[in-house]
Amino acid sequence: MSSDLPDHAIHLQGVSKHYLIYKRPEDRLKQMIMPKLRRVTGMKPRKYFTDFAAVHDVDFTVERGETVGIIGRNGSGKSTLLQMICGILQPSSGSVEVNGRIAALLELGAGFNADFTGRENVFLNAAILGLTREETEARFDSIARFADIGIFIDQPVKTYSSGMYVRLAFAVAINVDPDILVVDEALSVGDEAFQRKCFARIEQIRESGATILFVSHSAQTIVQLCDRAILMDGGSKLLDGEPKPVVQQYQRLVNADPVRQKTIREEIITCQGVPPEEPAPPAADVKIAPSEAEPEAEERADPIDPSLVAHPKDIENTGIVEIFDVSLETEQGTPVNLVEMGQRMVLRFQARFNDKVDNTFAAMAIRTIAGLKLFGASTRLVLPDHPSSADAGDVWDVRFSFNCPLTPGVYFFTVAVGKALGAGAEHHHRIQDALAFRVKFRPDLVATGFVDAGITPLVSRIERSAA
Ligand SMILES: Nc1ncnc2c1ncn2[C@@H]1O[C@H](COP(=O)(O)OP(=O)(O)OP(=O)(O)O)[C@@H](O)[C@H]1O
């Protein structure tokens, strides 16, 4: 990454993009001829189009190293904005300044030549991004490995599925050491394991100091990944600030009844994100009923989805300990990767010691697709009956049993074995995304977010309007 760049990576000033919308195809021709004719004949020229602002007078600056999320309803101008930042579209007015090598993952279809093979497109794309042929050759294997599309790399991209297309496009974008990475929703096309791999890589790119501009409809992803968020609506920037309040305002807007949306929009602009005080509900408005026990989860006949795979990655590996045979099982020992909410499950792995280790511990954690650590456990400070040191040649069997508290979705395990060092720890072997599992959909779900805390709501009407 270049270090001699100005502090701001992106600077937009008064940027607008207008489109002329013609109701009928012949209006376009009329617009070319009629105004001139009318002028010649001394008549006032008239317009045969309406002027539509896809983006209207947008200003913002993204500092180097910032991760900024853009959120907004469909058609709010997010993609148009990104395309202007990437130089694919010219603004109708205003200025766009970009400092650094920009790699973009825009909507499907942009960037690749359909008749070229994947390999040819990698070289073409990398050249557009400023890499020499030698530099691309040196990176080609890691690009192909990341894309993981097998022999399709030598087929024309017009034969690709949308998932394969995104895999290759993403593999190129993140392997060119961009100063600025622009991602437009494209990730949602890949499967969960690939999305997880991409988010892990985005995190790495972010840690290396690159600037990231990210368009997403997912409020959770924006809050998790971004330092700042921008709310776009109707082509204008409504709000720019801390991700959480910005996302809350987006959700207010998107979930509001269409009649209220205009008022909410105005409130957001005038209050700049601070929601107006809602009157406190009367105490009797919401009653909490005693919690009901989770029903016993039945084991399914097909508890394994073979297509649900993770891409394990050694985060730390000293060679002293080797973790192997990581599996997720029911209490009865049946391997699973599809589980019910509340189901008892056992994460199991084995660890072979190649050297003597004292103060040894085993640990696990569960992460979301975007990489947020939800919870974990470690044998570091507890469990006096467990072995706490190992000799070369020892093999441990490690089990973490728990009731799955997660809401439906795909999650990933990280597993580790290490040595406790005072308050800290050193990992001898730590595998990120060692295993993936899916919590199955449940139609009667009350919980929102990632964890079901067993909340039982009960709402009762305490007054009925006379109307
Ligand atoms: N070439 C074009 N000609 C006319 N209108 C266009 C053109 N491209 C985009 N628009 C319009 O500009 C507006 C903004 O589009 P844009 O794709 O930027 O929105 P978006 O926020 O990315 O939407 P989504 O979330 O659905 O991807 C939309 O109303 C769209 O119909």
Residue 110: what pLDDT? 59
Closest-CA residue, ligand 1 atom 7, reads 19
Output the 3-class SS for the chain.
CCCCCCCEEEEEEEEEEEEEECCCHHHHHHHHHHHHHHHHCCCCCCCCCEEEEEEEEEEEEEECCCEEEEEECCCCCHHHHHHHHCCCCCCCEEEEEECCCEEEECCCCCCCCCCCEHHHHHHHHHHHCCCCHHHHHHHHHHHHHHHCCHHHHHCEHHHCCHHHHHHHHHHHHHCCCCCEEEEECHHHHCCHHHHHHHHHHHHHHHHCCCEEEEECCCHHHHHHHCCEEEEEECCEEEEEECHHHHHHHHHHHHHCCHHHHHHHHHHHHHHCCCCCCCCCCCHHHEEECCCCCCCCCCCCCCCCCCCCCCCCEEEEECCCEEEEEEEEECCCCCECCEECCCCEEEEEEEEEECCCECCEEEEEEEECCCCCEEEEEECCCCCCCCCCCECCCCEEEEEEEEECCECCEEEEEEEEEEEEECCEEEEEEEEEEEEEEEECCCCCCCCCCCECCCCCEEECCCCCCCC
Which are the contacts of 220, defined by CB distance < 8 A and separation ≥ 6? Answer: 368, 370, 372
HSE toward the beta carbon, residue 90, CA cutoff 13 A: 1
Q: What is the mean pLDDT of each run of 10 residues along the chain (467 residues)?
A: 70 94 80 78 78 93 94 89 89 94 71 87 85 90 90 91 84 85 75 81 86 86 89 94 89 79 84 50 30 35 75 92 94 90 94 92 92 88 74 93 91 93 86 92 82 88 84
Question: Counting atoms of ligand 1 from 1, which one is nearest the CA of 54?
Answer: 12
Query: Ligand 1 centroid vs 75 CA: distance in angstroms?
Result: 5
* Ligand 1 neighbour 56 (Cβ under 6 A): no
Question: Counting atoms of ligand 1 from 1, which one is nearest the CA of 82?
Answer: 18
> Closest Cα to residue 241, out of 274, 277, 203?
274
Report the b/e string of 202-225 with b at 16+ CB within 10 A: bbebbeeebbbbbbbebbebbbbb
User: Residue 117 carries which side chain, given as an amino acid letter?
Assistant: T
* Ligand 1 neighbour 236 (Cβ under 6 A): no
Distance CA 321, CA 341 (A): 33
Contact of 246 with 240, CB cutoff 8 Å: yes
Query: Ligand 1 centroid vs 80 CA: distance in angstroms?
Result: 6
Residue 446: what pLDDT? 84
Residue 289: what pLDDT? 30
* Ligand 1 neighbour 79 (Cβ under 6 A): yes
Q: Which residue has the tokens 């993140």?
A: 174
Closest-CA residue, ligand 1 atom 5, reads 19
Distance CA 404, CA 12 (A): 46
Which are the contacts of 61, defined by CB distance < 8 A and separation ≥ 6? Answer: 8, 10, 11, 12
Query: Ligand 1 centroid vs 79 CA: distance in angstroms?
Result: 7
Q: Which residue has the tokens 């030598």?
A: 154
Query: Ligand 1 centroid vs 88 CA: distance in angstroms?
Result: 14
Distances (CA, A) of 425 to 359, 362, 430, 445: 10, 11, 12, 39
* Ligand 1 neighbour 41 (Cβ under 6 A): no
> Closest Cα to residue 320, out of 294, 289, 350, 355?
355
Closest-CA residue, ligand 1 atom 27, reads 74
Closest-CA residue, ligand 1 atom 11, reads 54
Closest-CA residue, ligand 1 atom 25, reads 74
Q: Could you give the domains of the chain?
A: 8-101+177-271 (3.40.50.300), 285-467 (2.70.50.60)
Number of other CB atoms surrounding residue 117 within 10 Å? 16
Q: Is 388 exposed, middle or buried (0-12, 13-18, 19+ CB in 10 A)?
A: middle
Closest-CA residue, ligand 1 atom 28, reads 75
Contact of 329 with 300, CB cutoff 8 Å: no
Among 52, 73, 253, name the best residue to mutate to test ligand 1's pocket (greatest count of ligand atoms within 8 A of Cβ). Answer: 52
The answer to whether the predicted template modeling score (pTM) of the entire model surpasses 0.80 is no
Distance CA 459, CA 463 (A): 12
User: Residue 439 carries which side chain, given as an amino acid letter?
Assistant: V
Query: Ligand 1 centroid vs 184 CA: distance in angstroms?
Result: 13
* Ligand 1 neighbour 393 (Cβ under 6 A): no
Closest-CA residue, ligand 1 atom 20, reads 75
Residue 188: what pLDDT? 67
Q: State the Cα angle at 311 between 306 and 314, rounded to 5°.
A: 140
Distance CA 76, CA 6 (A): 30
> Closest Cα to residue 323, out of 196, 403, 432, 204?
432
* Ligand 1 neighbour 250 (Cβ under 6 A): no
* Ligand 1 neighbour 76 (Cβ under 6 A): yes
Closest-CA residue, ligand 1 atom 17, reads 79
Q: What's the N-to-C CA distance of the chain in angstroms?
A: 66
Query: Ligand 1 centroid vs 106 CA: distance in angstroms?
Result: 13
* Ligand 1 neighbour 80 (Cβ under 6 A): yes
Q: Is 269 left (phi over 0), alpha (psi -120 to 50) or beta?
A: alpha
Closest-CA residue, ligand 1 atom 10, reads 54
Distance CA 37, CA 366 (A): 70
* Ligand 1 neighbour 75 (Cβ under 6 A): yes
